[in-house]
Chain A
Amino acid sequence: MTATADAPTVPVEEWVRSFTDASDNDPEIQAHGKYFTCTYLLDMTDHHFVVRMVSGRVAELAVDPGPLDVGYQFLIRAGVDTWRGFGTAIPPPMFHGIWAATFRRDMKLEGDVLVLMQNLRCITRQIELLRSVGVPV
């Protein structure tokens, strides 16, 4: 299944800005993210990003860092088509969350998954922000 052939690809620099703004201004993350402190890799195949969260705010968002440039605790990896499904206002079935896409598509959750579980509520919300922000792939 192709998620959304017509979903526009957001330029990388613009995406970094809008994702950061959306997260830092999201009422839910700001209400519940006091301890949302972790670093994770978003691997979107054509681009990858390391998101460093400190107390619910985006402290750093590294774009396509080199192999050993920036450390991270866990990663969320999937192909371009899967991420494009996440980047639509109403994602089709199986593109609507990291559990769904991990069970039914090509998404992988790797590394220290315990850290993901410790921050699951805020990560879930942050990934859902892609529905309004779009994806840079």
Chain B
Amino acid sequence: MPRISPVTGHYVTVDVDDVQYKVFYLENGTGQPLVCQHTAGCHNHQWRGLLEDEEITSNHRVIAYDLPRHGKSDPPENEEWWKEEYRLTADHYTKFIVALCDELDLEQPIFMGSSFGGNVALQLALRYPDRFRAVIPVEGADYSPGFYLDWWQHPHANAAQVCASGVWDLMAPQSPEADRWKTWFYYTQGSEAFKGDLYFYSVDHDLRGKLDQIDGDRCPVVMLTGSYDYLTTPEDGRRTASKIKNAEFIEMENIGHFPMSENHELFRRYLLEALDTIGSRAATAQA
């Protein structure tokens, strides 16, 4: 028997403002849609463990897409994108995610993202609370300065290795070495997009003073942060969640900033707790 994974890949065309993208996504499972965003400068293979996690795919349709300019999703189809510097904004990023969910005809998906995906999860809860059953910001915070650096694209250094080894410390030493190296390898592939992604992460994303505008009853927010994350620490996650109405915060021990990619076996325990919390909220809301 050929050892073929149940995970399948597809392309879908998505229009956002005047920009057209051809977006690649991986999916597996049936039931509640769970839309997954990779970290900055990376791609959807970070979710490889989740995509084949039968306990979760038995009742969730897990969809892990490549953001345009990442992995197999090309830059814009209808723009001379090479003539301007890529700088991702919260406005375009959130519109893209909603447009993708619309194009796939997803009803009340749960959105989960890590790092700049965690930050955009907070932006979605603020801007489109009625479009998502819940959001799970992983390694997110209200504000995450300090990573919009020229080093990611410095022409006198090997950008692939600077990006990959520059994020190495974001992973926990306890995480399996092979999974950390896979994550490192993914990061050698995305240096051109990494810096532009980090414009959103460290500059345009700033929800300080706005967290009280997120209604965690309309769109439940369950935040997960690893203890080895030096960019958005557990303290940052806890502080952020404490300022959002009815948000939950779960600290993940012995894991870092790429939990789903560096150690899915540990991450899944916390994710199941988050999904249980969201399920309980939905049951309470219906009662």
Contacts and interface: CB of A to CB of B under 8 A. Distances in A.
Contacts, number: 52
A131 B172 CA distance: 13
Interface string A107-132: 00000011001101100100000010
A100 to B, nearest CB: 4
Contact of A120 (B166, B230, B231): B166
A77 B162 CA distance: 20
Interface stretch (B35-43, B70-78, B149-157, B195-203): B149-157
Contacts of A97: 168-169
A65 B228 CA distance: 35
Residue in A98, A100, A113, A114 with the greatest tally of chain B CB atoms within 10 Å: A100
A93 B156 contact: no
B154 A117 contact: yes
Interface in B167-209: 168-170, 172-174
A91 interface: yes
Nearest to A118: B157
Chain A interface, >50% SS class: helix
B156 A96 contact: no
Band of interface residues on B = 20 to 34
A118 B166 CA distance: 11
Contact of B172 (A96, A99, A121): A96
A91 B164 CA distance: 20
Band of interface residues on A = 10 to 19
B261 interface: no
Contacts of A90: 173-174
A94 interface: yes
Contact of B156 (A91, A94, A114, A124): A114
Nearest to B226: A93
Contacts of A120: 157, 161-162, 165-166
A17 interface: no
Nearest to B233: A104
B109 to A, nearest CB: 32
Contacts of A114: 154, 156-157
B165 A121 contact: yes
Interface in B113-166: 146, 151, 154, 156-158, 161-162, 164-166
Contacts of B166: 99, 120
A131 B173 contact: yes
B258 to A, nearest CB: 14
A109 to B, nearest CB: 11
B156 A99 contact: no
Interface of B: 146, 151, 154, 156-158, 161-162, 164-166, 168-170, 172-174, 227-228, 230-231, 233
